[in-house]
């Protein structure tokens, strides 16, 4: 299970191609037992790894880490380590006025999507597929309780619009944090997830759809003769440091991931053992979660040696964070979450967010010798400003108080 993300901060809505957040122009094709489905042999593939062995799927919590890190890891022979990078995560919110589910992105996800040319396309140029994870947000709406086929189709249209707008390669479903029943929403039902993936497959016949195998959806994989497995491409289990293939009728072993690791908490020997078992049992997916900004190639080599007989190398294609740069910290005395190294330049809020910075969040900063940092209280270099030329442990000591108010920065 993913546990480190904080989903309680404010969300911002996404307007896509002029659609209202709940579009009513979704496909109206009925879900029937004889509807056209994907077979295991026709599942959409990826082309990143280029070697025999399980595909690598990697979630990145973009609240704190840079999605470009997915492209920084190659095998010793030059192939990319990861086939799929997943932006974690967009949310299903609930509008109590319209009583409909809505697609929401937090500021960090928004920064990645709005900067697709520099955050998504460089990965795709390397052959890596980039998907968007979708999960609940404690408001009662999730993938398991759409009250009707039309409601599921409407939300599928929003997802398809997002994929088109931002040039994504697909959608990953995660049935966590919905808190079903909140805001008088319905409980999970047997048709919701099947309706949703059926509608999305009709809208996106050539894109990837995957399922993080957890929650009520994992128990509602068939309805009216149609299986979720006939509509999606992949599924992987959700408990890090453990092994167990998801039971998704319609998916072959090559489309399933029985092993899952948290790069920042699963020990290296366990990660290697799970990789060995994945290969031995003939499964086609190995799941990584929580890729950090820091160089993790030594840890990842334990996995890649077991999967492919090759070590992992860090750094490729100019997406590596600079070795020297300014780093902002969430708490005083360089505590809490830290940004990537930030090179010299001028950074608006959206540009900072892509580097792990959160609006009105910074409390301390480390500055390389000889560099100057000018911080601004508002976006686009406006509002109150502070000029710093050395490490600063506590923004409350600045005049005026700069703690938790910085929104844009110039670094020279």
Q: What is the set of active-site residues?
A: 176
Residue with tokens 């319209």: 98
Residues 6 or more apart whose Cβ sits within 8 Å of residue 108:
62, 63, 353, 354, 358
| Residues contacting residue 47 through CB under 8 Å, at least 6 positions apart | 83, 127
**Rounded CA separation 36/349 (Å):** 46
b/e burial code for range 113-150 (CB count within 10 A of at least 16 → b): bbbbeebbebbbebbbbbbbbbbbbbbbbbbbbbeebe
Q: CB within 8 A of 288, min separation 6: which ones?
A: 56, 57, 58, 59, 82, 261, 263, 300, 303
Kind plus residue range of the DSSP H or E element containing 222: strand 222-223
Q: How far apart are CA 57 and CA 236, in angstroms?
A: 9
Opening angle at CA 246, ends 243 and 247, nearest 5: 135
Q: Do residues 337 and 356 make contact, with C-beta atoms less than 8 angstroms apart? A: yes
* Of the candidates 175, 73, 59, the residue with the CA atom closest to the CA atom of residue 109: 59
DSSP code at position 240: T
Residue whose pair of structure tokens reads 């910075």 in the numeric block: 357
Query: Strand runs (DSSP E) across 113-206, as ranges?
Result: 129-136, 170-174
């Amino acid at each position: 299970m993913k546990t480190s993300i904080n989903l309680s901060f404010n969300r911002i809505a996404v307007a896509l191609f002029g659609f209202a957040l709940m579009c009513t122009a979704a496909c109206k094709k009925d879900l029937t037992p004889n509807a056209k489905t994907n077979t295991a042999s026709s599942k959409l593939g990826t082309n990143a790894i280029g070697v025999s062995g399980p595909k690598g799927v990697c979630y990145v919590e973009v609240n704190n880490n840079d999605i470009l890190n997915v492209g920084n890891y190659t095998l010793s022979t030059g192939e990319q380590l990861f086939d799929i990078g997943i932006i974690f995560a967009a949310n299903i919110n609930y509008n109590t006025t319209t009583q409909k589910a809505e697609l929401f992105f937090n500021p960090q996800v928004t920064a990645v999507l709005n900067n697709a040319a520099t955050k998504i396309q460089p990965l795709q140029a390397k052959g890596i597929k980039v998907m968007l994870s979708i999960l609940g947000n404690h408001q009662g709406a999730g993938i398991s309780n759409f009250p009707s086929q039309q409601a599921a189709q409407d939300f599928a249209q929003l997802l398809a619009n997002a994929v088109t707008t931002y040039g994504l390669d697909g959608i990953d479903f995660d049935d966590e944090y919905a808190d079903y029943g909140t805001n008088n929403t319905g409980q999970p039902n047997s048709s919701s997830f099947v309706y949703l993936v059926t509608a999305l497959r009709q809208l996106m016949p050539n894109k990837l759809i995957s399922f993080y195998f957890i929650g009520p959806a994992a128990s509602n994989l068939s309805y009216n003769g149609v299986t979720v497995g006939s509509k999606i491409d992949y599924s992987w289990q959700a408990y890090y440091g453990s092994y167990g293939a998801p039971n998704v009728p319609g998916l072959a072993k090559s489309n399933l991931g029985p092993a899952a690791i948290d790069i920042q908490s699963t020990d290296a020997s366990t990660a290697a053992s799970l990789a060995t078992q994945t290969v031995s049992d003939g499964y086609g997916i190995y799941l990584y979660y929580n890729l950090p900004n820091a160089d993790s190639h030594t840890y990842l080599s334990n996995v890649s040696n077991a999967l492919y007989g090759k070590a992992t190398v860090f750094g490729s294609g100019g997406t590596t964070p600079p070795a020297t740069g300014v780093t902002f910290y969430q708490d005083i005395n360089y505590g809490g979450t830290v940004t990537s190294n930030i090179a010299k330049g001028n950074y608006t809020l959206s540009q900072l967010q892509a580097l792990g910075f959160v609006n009105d969040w910074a409390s301390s900063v480390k500055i390389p010798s000889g560099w100057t940092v000018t911080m601004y209280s508002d976006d686009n270099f406006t509002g109150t400003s502070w000029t710093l030329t050395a490490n600063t442990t506590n923004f409350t000591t600045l005049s005026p108080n700069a703690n938790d108010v910085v929104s844009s920065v110039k670094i020279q």
